[in-house]
């Protein structure tokens, strides 16, 4: 029972940290790297306007998002493996699957270009696995 709770806690903690990293990177993206995009999106709630903003988003802005997602995924994979203390790859891949599902939901809500769909579907599992492999050997 203790190992189930520890595994669940590790996945939840890793997910929370991943979300925090992704939100921070996306916030920086709209304030530092592409402030014109951030200003245009501020306070927008109309789905059609959001679709137009995504369609016109610079490629660089979308690449920053992908880099943020990869950093968050590596961190989450590492954290899940480290906190669980066992089955590092399994925990890392579990958080990778959860993040992939979140990425799919995000892409359905804010439809990005097709290339972004493809890359975003491929980013989470490998990077979370790498994060799990970075965990100390005792966790594996």
| Mean per-residue pLDDT of the chain | 91
Give the C-alpha separation, 57 to 51, whole Å.
10
Total domains in the chain come to 1
Please give the Cα distance from 119 to 66 (Å, whole number).
Answer: 8
Q: Are 76 and 116 in contact (CB under 8 A)?
A: no
pLDDT tens digits along 10-30: 999 999 999 999 999 999 998
SS3 label, residue 130: helix
63-67, 79-83, 133-137: the lowest-pLDDT one: 133-137
Query: pLDDT per residue over 84-121, tens digit each?
Result: 988 999 999 999 999 999 999 999 988 888 999 999 99
pTM for the model stands at 0.90
C-alpha span between 44 and 53 (Å, rounded): 10
Nearest C-alpha neighbor of 22 from the set 78, 85, 77, 64: 64
Q: 59 lies in which domain range? A: 2-139
Closest CA to 84 of 2, 7, 5: 7
């Amino acid at each position: 029972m203790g190992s189930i709770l520890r595994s669940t806690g590790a996945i939840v903690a890793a997910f929370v940290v991943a979300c925090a990293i992704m939100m921070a990177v996306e916030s920086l993206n709209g304030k530092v790297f592409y402030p014109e995009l951030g200003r245009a999106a501020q306070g927008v709630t109309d789905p059609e306007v959001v679709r137009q903003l995504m369609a016109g988003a610079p490629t660089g802005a979308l690449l920053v998002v992908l880099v943020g997602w990869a950093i968050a995924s590596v961190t989450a994979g590492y954290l899940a493996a480290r906190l669980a203390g066992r089955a590092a790859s399994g925990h890392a891949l579990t958080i990778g699957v959860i993040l992939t599902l979140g990425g799919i939901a995000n892409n359905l809500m804010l439809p990005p270009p097709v290339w972004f769909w493809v890359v975003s579907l491929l980013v989470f599992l490998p990077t979370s696995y790498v994060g799990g492999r970075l965990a100390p050997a005792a966790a594996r």
